[in-house]
Structure 1
């Protein structure tokens, strides 16, 4: 049966936009990925110097640093998952679904396994030394990894973990379980769904309403899984939250007019982000965390505001990035190549240097933070340039092309 004029028009529109998208690179997303992961290095260094739990801790804490990091916690990883979803759209323009799955195994699963046996164990070793749980040399500690006792087990826990590589683990699962959805989105019914999404975001500030997906997830799963564990099997509210952001990144990147609409409405997203930020800090200052935690209603409202801050800040970042960062520079391809191995390395280097600074020097909070941050940055860059980038095997193990 011949397609109707409406069907032909829709197919033509999709093919035309796909062709435009295929020949366009979103340099802004590359820049945002680099910026977000660089900020992550400073964030994880800051974890040593705030009151939240971390693998090694300074005896002194910084409240101003903690307040900045409270905001960053709602923004940094959600942005990376959104960008990863956008990158998936571009990847599937050039690959079949089978090729895409194979690439995800090479670029995500292989580095994850390598990291769990090589990159992460030094972090656990340093933590055990710092807490007085172990006093031997590393070669005596390392065989405990092969007991395969999870770090997240009750009590003392074991030496087998993915630690900060949880992001890679989750992204690997997201990539594979989303293939049926992405296949459907390419179909005619999927395109009709995308059309409806387009009509929503075309309204003034319309994309803000997509926060409803995150709120529904919080209502459905937040009460059962209130904490972020990064352990996969008991982290379903957080797992689904980031999966939704991954899907939204794919969908909102799939049409050129979506990009332009998001960019044009950037002031709505910035205003919404500012409002949620004021509520975040005002709520804690006026009501207090103890009162919030004691009331289920206040906890729910606080959680809803945090989800609003997450989505609105991601939208604002992507919108302003599209407006001001969608430019190529000679250094960008090199940064874009380096950022993934940099992410894999950074927390291990931070903990090794941080352990030395905490136990062997008298540095305080802010001078210690600066020394650990910039020393870790220098060491990560040096390892990448000297030991990873020039050689084939390290490139494979670190998920590079």
Structure 2
């Protein structure tokens, strides 16, 4: 067993879980075309059946990515000095964010308001009025995750430096002992997150992804990012999480009972003997516990079953970031046309999903992976000479 003072080696399970989380995003955002929730564009016919699985995914898909990103940020600091770390974060996060705002996101806004413009050329100059969406055309849309991650990385530098120093040995020992049993692993972080939301949600109730007026959810996601760093930096705590995976799974399943009972109340499937404000409070509190329970359970089972190498894993993870940047725009562009076809919702859902996947792969292999400049725009490392190869060869590997 590794000592508390040492971090865990780079693990395959986190890479697999990152891959799984991004695939979930593909289907989740495709589902947004067909569920009754408000989104950028919608199919003329929607189905409530999408909400039953999407409401659950909504509360842990992004927290899982933030937890994994916290662990990844801890690794990114590595042996770098602070200035090198900031430069690496700027290159990996800020440059793709800026590129995305001016190149990737605008088609989403255009197709949402397509009837207001003659063509895309007519629309595009409106971005440079710098009027924030939805009043204007300036937005980072789904790239809020990249923006928040960039800010999280910078403000967490003091904590990162502390965790990597010998001064943190006692602190990590205390944390390891305090969270060494499944009850503590489940409830201490969840209650901490809950307290932050009790303090902030009355003032910032809506999830806007706009940073400056989103402090409640900004803090909510930041907690998962910090716990990702903390858990990954402590080998004893990490092993305890995996060891208690079955207890975590049972707790997660049990937490879904009040979660769905209150959700079914709002869907008018059942009626609870309380007013809607009380039921909503119960749902919001339960959702926080579901978020943490699901994330930590997935992490636990991932480290037990997915910590295995695969020859494709490196290639998967190299392309995940470009895939994330591209996927929502392609869903909206493809979805706009598919939703006009006289097909069933099921056929449209799978058509948009598969065409988006294929389009992402084609753009990645043909336009991003072979070119150093495009790799930089999409947060990838510059192309090495030995990586230069024809597109057909890259597709074959």
TM-score normalised over the length of structure 1: 0.90
1:13, distance to aligned residue in structure 2 (A): 4.3
Number of the residue aligned with 2:191: 212
C-alpha displacement of 1:368: 0.6
2:121 to 139, 145, 170: 139
Displacement of 1:287 in angstroms is 6.6
Matches of 2:36 and 2:273 in 1, distance apart? 18
State which of 150, 162, 168 in structure 2 corresponds to 1:184: 162
1:300 maps to: 281
Could you tell me which residue of structure 2 aligns to residue 242 of structure 1? 221
Unaligned runs of 5+ in 1: 1-11
Report the equivalent of 2:380: 400
SS in 2 for 1:205: helix
Which has the higher mean CA deviation after the structures are superposed, 364-373 or 182-191?
182-191
- Please list the CA deviations of residues 171-224 of structure 1 after superposition, one character each: whole Å capped at 9, or x if unmatched: 000000110122233345533222221112212332112111110011000111
Q: 1:203 aligns with which of 181, 184, 203?
A: 181
- The number of equivalent residue pairs is 377
For the pair 1:313 / 2:291, whether they are aligned, the reply is no
**2:323 matched to which residue of 1?**
342
Alignment-derived partner of residue 389 in structure 2: none
Deviation of 1:320 (Å):
0.2
1:258 aligns with 2:240: no
- Residue 28 of structure 1 pairs with residue 13 of structure 2: yes
Could you tell me how far apart the structure 1 residues matched to 2:276 and 2:323 are?
41
8 Å CA contact 1:31, 1:332 repeated in 2 = yes
CA distance in 2, matches of 1:92, 1:287: 45
Match of 1:371 in 2: 351
Aligned partners of 1:255 and 1:277: how far apart in 2?
29
Is 1:59 the equivalent of 2:41? Answer: no
Q: Say if 2:133 is the partner of 1:151.
A: yes
CA distance in 1, matches of 2:301, 2:253: 14
Rounded to whole Å, the distance in 2 between the matches of 1:59 and 1:399 is 36
Contact 2:265 2:272 in 1 (8 A): no
CA contact (8 A) 1:106 1:399 kept: yes
**CA distance in structure 1 between the aligned counterparts of 2:71 and 2:37, rounded to whole angstroms:** 32
Distance 1:57 1:249, change over 3 A: same
Q: Deviations over 1:217-244 (max 9, x none)?
A: 1100011111111111111110001111
Change beyond 3 A, Cα 1:236–1:248: same
Is the CA contact 2:35–2:49 (under 8 Å) kept in the aligned structure 1? no
Q: Which residue of 1 aligns with 2:211?
A: 232
Q: Which runs of 4+ in 1 moved over 4 A?
A: 12-15, 286-295
By how many angstroms is 1:256 displaced? 1.8
Paired with 2:35 and 2:265, the residues of 1 have a C-alpha distance of 21
TM-score, normalization: structure 2? Answer: 0.91
| Residue matched to 1:96 | 81
Deviation at 1:275, TM superposition (A): 1.1
Structure 1 range deviating more: 378-387 or 282-291: 282-291
Residue pair 1:293, 1:299 contacting (<8 A) in 2 also = no
Equivalents in 2 of 1:288, 1:242: separation in Å?
A: 27
Among 37, 41, 44, the residue aligned to 2:29? 44
User: Which residue does 1:331 correspond to in 2?
Assistant: 312
Q: Post-superposition shift, 1:383?
A: 0.4
Gap change, CA 1:293 and 1:78, over 3 Å in 2: farther
Q: Name the SS for the 1:48 alignment partner.
A: coil
The alignment's C-alpha RMSD in Å is: 1.8
Task: Considering fraction of residues, name the structure with more helix.
Answer: 1
- SS at 2:33 equivalent: helix
- Choose the corresponding residue for 1:387, options 328, 342, 367: 367
Q: Is the 1:270–1:316 contact (alpha carbons within 8 Å) kept by the matching residues of 2?
A: yes
Shift of 1:298: 3.0
> Residue 74 of structure 2 aligns to a residue in which SS?
helix
Equivalence for 1:114: 99
Out of 262, 279, 286, which is 2:258 matched to? 279
Rounded to whole Å, the distance in 2 between the matches of 1:286 and 1:148 is: 42
**Deviation digits for residues 230-261 of structure 1 (CA, Å, limit 9, x no counterpart):** 11111111000111100000000112222211
CA distance in 2, matches of 1:54, 1:64: 17
